[in-house]
């Protein structure tokens, strides 16, 4: 094959002779591929940088092709047989299970700084009406000297682009006797730093990355009444080899090793969180960006304890060899400030581009309202009232009016320096009302809560809470975030957050009591609408705790279902969380203790969104985030025929 410069000289000479009439050149030969739609396309590979391996990112690229986040979650739920897509990904992240960022992080065999990348993996290809067999001579110039390759135009080119610099990609396309064409494109990666802050809704509570595996036999709990009549059996954890009766005193560590797995146990952070899904969706939808995501939200957080100050850990990290539990978690703002300070020391320096935030429910003691609704038995109510676990609408109303606006002022003052004074870069995702189905409040009763014998949603208290959430809490939260309705902000224009609540309308049909004919077959067969799902006989329940006669191991937490809110049954069957990281005052005496019996049913995410619920929230957040980030503009691509070459006389 002749050298490319010699072939190009012959072509230019042929065109010149054609112009002089010595060699006719028809339209097809003169225009050739110059009038085709050939262009350079490029994308950042594995551009959700939390993922170590490209296969995990590609899973979501394929699932989200022409689909919403919600539709993709439903597809992935079915593909995984309801076990969840995150169960394998959770061990392939650039953040370890203790919540520490891996620096450096080895992504697809290359060591990178996670918070301050210096380059990004790029794939470049020629698209459009590329003739079969066309040859592409590629040149990439980024100021470090040109990199050149010549190969078949059907082949993509992979290289690593220097972050903070423009790479000019040029390709000369040659196909037979047709006039060659030059195509150029600018390649400049925008790496976006996104932080996720807030409480259990922000962290993804209720959706362990690897759900607890259930045993089909029973496990004994005591109730506060004591004695044999106060015992009941519920499904056990698969793999637990200890005694299942209430008379046994087995190792807590052995029990914990058979538990659910979160990518951060202390905060119950989950990859299913709407914040993670929104950041991931941005990376999927915009191929010219990379997303560096820093998840810091923590279940149980309030503004004072969690966001601005430290808080108690939710659960301990238990491995095959040991159980580690610091007992507390650092303040989210402090963790974020430290990360940004470290990033600014490196070159190229970077800023925090976006904050995703949900906070405020724990500040008005929403969990206390839930406890007040579902704890029915008098003994448990009396004990919980003395312990301050039961809340009231009156107390929540007072906190909403007197304390929450002032607390949000502190949040603004803490976040402003981190977002360059522009609070619109804080995207606040509102809560959804979990108590609605078919547009009306759930009717109450034991259905969905019969995993514990003292639970039943009281209809009157439930209606009272539903009305408070819908008519007072959610509207006031919106006014606070937007500096409206008489809420005092120092500078309303600068202090106003970007507020998202478009998902609330969808949740009005998918609350905790929603049922559908397309619900998983196990749910329809085994979770009774009358609230009698579990065997009451101690003898029979020890071997088979489900009235339906099915094994609890058949439950699939990530199959699509009518309810987008976890009920207490879901929480037990998906997470069954033991409060090992909590205060000594609430620590159970042993793994059969009455306190653990109650907490196991709610502590892992009851009345929190399911994976589908979080995906619906992400669908609402993504457009708002893209608007704030001004995403959508693509790099310019130009195409032109090759300029005539100047023939130099041969050297003598």
Q: What is the pLDDT of residues 177-201, one digit of tens each?
A: 888 899 999 999 999 999 999 999 9
pLDDT band at 635 (very low <50, low <70, confident <90, very high): very low
Q: Which of the two residues, 36 and 359, has the higher pLDDT score?
A: 359
What local confidence, expressed as pLDDT, does residue 98 receive? 82
418-457 pLDDT, tens digit each: 999 999 999 999 999 999 998 888 999 999 999 999 999 9
Residue 152 · residue 173 · CB < 8 Å: no
User: Which residues on neighbouring strands pair with residue 139, listed in sequence order?
Assistant: 148, 170
CA dihedral 100, 101, 104, 109 (to 10 degrees): 100
Which pair of structure tokens corresponds to residue 24? 């006719």
SS3 222: strand
What local confidence, expressed as pLDDT, does residue 29 receive? 31
- Per-residue pLDDT for 558 more than 90? yes
Single out the residue of 56, 62, 49, 141 nearest to residue 101, CA to CA: 49
Task: Return the H-helix or E-strand segment holding 410.
Answer: helix 404-415
For the segment 207-223, the average pLDDT, to the nearest whole number, is 95
- What's the mean per-residue pLDDT of the chain? 88
238-294 pLDDT, tens digit each: 988 888 898 877 677 788 888 999 999 999 999 999 999 999 999 999 999 999 999
94-127 pLDDT, tens digit each: 999 888 899 999 999 999 999 999 999 999 999 9
The domains of the chain, with CATH numbers, are 4-44+123-188+635-641 (2.60.40), 200-629 (3.40.50.1110)
What local confidence, expressed as pLDDT, does residue 36 receive? 63
What local confidence, expressed as pLDDT, does residue 451 receive? 96
Which pair of structure tokens corresponds to residue 120? 């990004």
Q: Which of the two residues, 644 and 389, has the higher pLDDT score?
A: 389
pLDDT band at 80 (very low <50, low <70, confident <90, very high): very high
pTM: 0.90
Estimate to the nearest angstrom the gap between the alpha carbon of 566 and the chain centroid: 17
Interatomic CA distance for residues 505 and 500, integer angstroms: 12
Single out the residue of 359, 262, 346 nearest to residue 604, CA to CA: 262
Rg for the chain, CA atoms, rounded: 30
Q: Residue-wise over 244-265: b if at least 16 C-beta within 10 A, else e?
A: bebeeeeebeebbbbbbbbbbb
């Amino acid at each position: 094959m002749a050298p490319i410069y010699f072939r190009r000289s012959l072509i230019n000479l042929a065109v010149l002779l054609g112009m002089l009439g010595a060699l006719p050149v028809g339209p097809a030969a003169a225009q050739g591929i110059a009038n085709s739609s050939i262009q350079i396309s490029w994308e950042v590979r594995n551009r959700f940088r939390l993922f170590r391996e490209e296969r995990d990112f590609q899973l979501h690229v394929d699932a989200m092709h022409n689909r919403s986040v919600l539709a993709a979650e439903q597809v992935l739920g079915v593909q995984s047989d309801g076990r969840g897509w995150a169960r394998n990904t959770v061990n392939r992240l650039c953040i370890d299970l203790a919540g520490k960022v891996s620096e450096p992080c080895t992504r697809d065999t290359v060591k990178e700084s996670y918070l301050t990348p210096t380059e990004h993996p790029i794939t470049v290809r020629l698209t459009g009406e590329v003739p079969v067999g066309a040859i592409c001579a590629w040149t990439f110039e980024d100021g470090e000297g040109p990199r050149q390759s010549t190969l078949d135009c059907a082949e993509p080119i992979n290289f690593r682009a220097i972050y903070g610099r423009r790479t000019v990609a040029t390709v000369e396309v040659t196909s037979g006797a047709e006039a060659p064409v030059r195509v150029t494109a600018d390649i400049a990666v925008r790496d976006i730093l996104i932080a996720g802050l807030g409480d259990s809704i922000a962290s993804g509570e209720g959706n362990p990355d690897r759900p607890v595996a259930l045993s089909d036999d029973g496990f004994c709990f005591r109730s506060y009444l004591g004695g044999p009549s106060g015992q009941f059996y519920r499904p056990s954890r698969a793999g637990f080899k200890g005694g299942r009766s209430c008379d046994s005193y087995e190792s807590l560590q052995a029990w914990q090793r058979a538990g659910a797995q979160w990518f951060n146990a202390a905060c119950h952070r989950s990859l299913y969180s709407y914040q993670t899904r929104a950041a991931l969706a941005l990376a999927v939808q915009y191929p010219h960006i990379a997303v560096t995501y820093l998840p810091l939200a923590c279940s149980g957080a309030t503004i004072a304890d969690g966001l601005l100050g430290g808080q108690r850990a939710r659960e301990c990290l238990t491995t095959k060899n040991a159980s580690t539990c610091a007992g507390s978690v650092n303040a989210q703002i402090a963790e974020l400030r430290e990360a940004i300070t470290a990033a600014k020391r490196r070159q190229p320096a970077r800023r925090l581009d976006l904050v995703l935030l949900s906070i405020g429910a724990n500040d008005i003691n929403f969990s206390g309202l839930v406890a007040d609704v579902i704890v029915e038995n008098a003994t448990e109510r009396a004990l919980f009232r003395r312990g301050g676990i039961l809340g009231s609408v009156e107390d929540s109303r007072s906190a909403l009016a007197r304390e929450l606006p002032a607390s949000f002022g502190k949040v603004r003052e803490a976040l402003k320096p981190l977002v360059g004074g522009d609070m619109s870069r804080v995207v606040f995702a509102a809560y959804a009302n979990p108590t609605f189905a078919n547009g009306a409040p759930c009717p109450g009763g034991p259905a969905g809560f019969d995993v514990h014998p003292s639970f039943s949603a009281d209809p009157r208290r439930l209606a009272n809470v539903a009305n408070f959430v819908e008519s007072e809490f959610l509207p006031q939260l919106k006014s606070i975030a937007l500096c409206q309705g008489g809420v005092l902000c120092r500078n309303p224009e600068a202090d106003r957050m970007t507020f998202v609540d478009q998902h609330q309308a969808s949740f009005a049909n998918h609350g905790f009591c929603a049922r559908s004919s397309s619900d998983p077959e196990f749910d329809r067969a085994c979770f009774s609408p009358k609230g009698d799902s579990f065997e009451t006989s101690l003898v029979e329940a020890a071997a088979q705790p489900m009235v339906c006669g099915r094994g609890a191991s058949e439950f699939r937490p990530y199959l699509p279902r009518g309810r987008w809110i976890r009920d207490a049954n879901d929480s037990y069957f998906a997470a069954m969380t033991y409060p090992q990281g909590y205060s000594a005052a609430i620590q159970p005496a042993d793994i059969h203790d009455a306190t653990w019996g109650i907490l196991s049913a709610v502590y892992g995410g009851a009345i929190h969104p399911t994976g589908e619920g979080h995906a619906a929230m992400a669908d609402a957040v993504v457009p708002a985030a893209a608007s704030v980030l001004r995403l959508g503009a693509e790099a310019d691509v130009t195409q032109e025929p090759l300029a005539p070459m100047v023939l130099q006389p041969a050297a003598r």
